Amino acid sequence: MLHVHGDLLTIDLEAREWSTENVDDVLEAYVGGRGVGTRLVHDRVPFDADPLGPENSLVFATGPMQTSRMSFTGRTSLTGVSPLTDGLLSSNAGGFLSRNLAGTGHAAVEITGASDELLAVHVTDDGVTFEEIPELEGAVVSETCDTIEERHGLGPDHVACIGPAGENEVRFASVMTTEKRAFGRGGLGAVLGAKNCKAVTFAGESTHDVSIPDVQMDVHREAAQSDHVMKRQGTTSMTDFANQVGALPTRYFSERSFEGAEGINGDRVEEKKYETATCSACAFACKLPTRDEASGIETEGPEYETVMAFGSNCGVDDVVDVMRSNEQCDEYGMDTISCGDVVAAYLDSEDAFGHVDLIEDVVEDIARREEVGDLLAEGIDRCHEDLGVENWSVKGMEFPAHDGRHLNGQGLGFATSNRGADHMYATFYSREYPLVGKDDALPPEGLDETKANLLVEHENARAFEDCGVVCRFSRDFLTRERYEQLFDADYDDLLAVGDRVVTLERHFNNRRGFDRDDDVLPYELPNFETARGDYYETRGWSQDGTVPAERISILP
């Protein structure tokens, strides 16, 4: 089976030392990306580690597809223990970092320990250097990137860094790369902040040769020739449709459609788009550089989830206001979904939906942990009682769009996901809107054994994509047959890799106290209990939501 090549580079921030080791057995069994990161964190981080303590590690990992010329491969994986969910979590980001990481010659880079001074860590194919940067304390992302470029000649595509939110250990702080792209969900930016590491850079010319079949160019050609609506509107092309079917969370989840959707939909975003943008090696070019001439606001996005979180869920009906919130989150280094939802919870508690000036102030307060922002920085699960609002989270993670009260299989997926309420963990919504052909479509309402079984397959497939590392938007271009050609393996064997990843995540979380009682929702779904049991049975897990010891003992 095709897999990434290279060694593991371990960087100890406390000792300011680095070392390499052979992890070929892990690479062969887990391919790359999320799989490699999950296996390493599972085995090397104590099960009782404090997510914000020095024993937690962050693992940057690339995959075999980052040595290809194929579209949909400009992504990098990051894995650690989440301060938001308290469980093992992987996030991945687009942009241009992935091939610079591959250029260092390392398959994975592990950041461990904690520094007593604010650091930038520079990784090249010649080694690692440590730079004290106390003058960048509190700097926003663009300032950090500008400083690194001035001093080292490394553009934002070489940089993974945090903003003030990460330094202040906001539990949904992001690690930002290429300045505007985010390792967004789960708060891994707070982990880097707790380690007193402002930035990690990657540069080198030691990419390992990996033989990628010629089908890569067929995928690339079709991506270039496609007239997909996402090339014009990104994911915001979903806004009107989700609104029409009742899957667009509104006013802190109290409603499922928004009368102001026309002011924040894909057409409005497309009107503000001023150029084409993409990720490394990708001809699909679905990114959204946007600018509002009247206000001077310039950002990348917002994407659909941000339109929901800072738009409909906050009662905001002007795309320019959503753009402003999007840019704030990028500069401060925060996940737009969690941040927008937390702001919506605060607006609900204050009866202040649509108050855009208040939103702007609260976002800054969260990033700097000032006034009410110090409470909100903890996330909805930890602050909802103080606010007097419902707890709209799963395992501590705030909800995205694609409302499970309409898309019931996606709702089940929110509950079972090891990451919590994350739509990208299984992307089951694609079958229920549907965004797939009629033969693969399912009715949105209801839960049964078929949906539970297919949810397992979806989770395994998405996990393998993250090992690859391959973008979710490759769905219309990468068929099962093409996956088999690219990775030189039967598709069932690829799904088996994904299953191992999901099972390791669950086992790590079980050892931290997670079980069936955590696979829950803040709303009721028909036949949920039975479907959840069917899901466990299909996975070969116990009905209490835990992984049997014998399942772990046979994993490579």
pLDDT tens-digit series, residues 166-185: 999 999 999 999 999 999 99
Same structural domain, 379 and 417? no
Residue 49 belongs to some domain of the structure = yes
Q: CB of 449 within 8 A of CB of 55?
A: no
Residue 47 belongs to some domain of the structure = yes
Question: Which pLDDT belongs to residue 218?
Answer: 96
Question: Which pLDDT belongs to residue 175?
Answer: 98
Q: Which residues span the domain enclosing 112?
A: 7-203
On the 0-12 / 13-18 / 19+ scale of CB atoms within 10 A, 36 is buried
Question: Which pLDDT belongs to residue 482?
Answer: 97
pLDDT band at 546 (very low <50, low <70, confident <90, very high): very high
Residue 62 belongs to some domain of the structure = yes
Question: Which pLDDT belongs to residue 310?
Answer: 98
Same structural domain, 105 and 21? yes
| Total tally of structural domains belonging to the chain | 3
Same structural domain, 388 and 419? no
- What value does the mean pLDDT take over residues 380-396? 98
In this structure, the dihedral spanned by the alpha carbons of residues 378, 381, 383 and 384, taken in order and rounded to 10 degrees, is 150
- Of 359, 393, 427, the residue that ends a domain is 393
- Of 179, 203, 227, the residue that ends a domain is 203
Beta strand pairing status for 17-21 and 58-61?
unpaired
For the chain, what percent of residues have pLDDT higher than 70?
A: 100
pLDDT band at 381 (very low <50, low <70, confident <90, very high): very high
- Of 203, 220, 254, the residue that ends a domain is 203
Same structural domain, 358 and 254? yes
Question: Which pLDDT belongs to residue 222?
Answer: 96
CATH number at residue 265: 1.10.569.10
The mean predicted confidence, pLDDT, of the chain is 97
Rounded distance, CA 135 to CA 127, Å?
Answer: 25
Same structural domain, 21 and 92? yes
H-assigned helices in 212-278: 215-225, 230-233, 239-245, 266-272
Same structural domain, 524 and 415? yes
Instruction: Give the tens place of pLDDT for each residue, 73-119.
Output: 999 999 999 999 999 999 999 999 999 999 999 999 999 999 999 99
Same structural domain, 359 and 485? no
Same structural domain, 296 and 344? yes
pLDDT band at 530 (very low <50, low <70, confident <90, very high): very high
> Looking at the whole model, is its pTM more than 0.95?
yes
Among 466, 74, 433, smallest CA distance to 286 is for 74
pLDDT band at 34 (very low <50, low <70, confident <90, very high): very high
pLDDT band at 244 (very low <50, low <70, confident <90, very high): very high
Residue 228 belongs to some domain of the structure = no
- What value does the mean pLDDT take over residues 396-415? 98
Question: Which pLDDT belongs to residue 270?
Answer: 97
CATH number at residue 440: 1.10.599.10
Tokens 């929110």 found at? 414
Same structural domain, 103 and 151? yes
Q: 141 phi and psi, to 5 degrees?
A: -60, -45
Give the SS3 label for residue 446: coil
pLDDT band at 349 (very low <50, low <70, confident <90, very high): very high
Tokens of 543: 């009905």
- What value does the mean pLDDT take over residues 197-223? 96
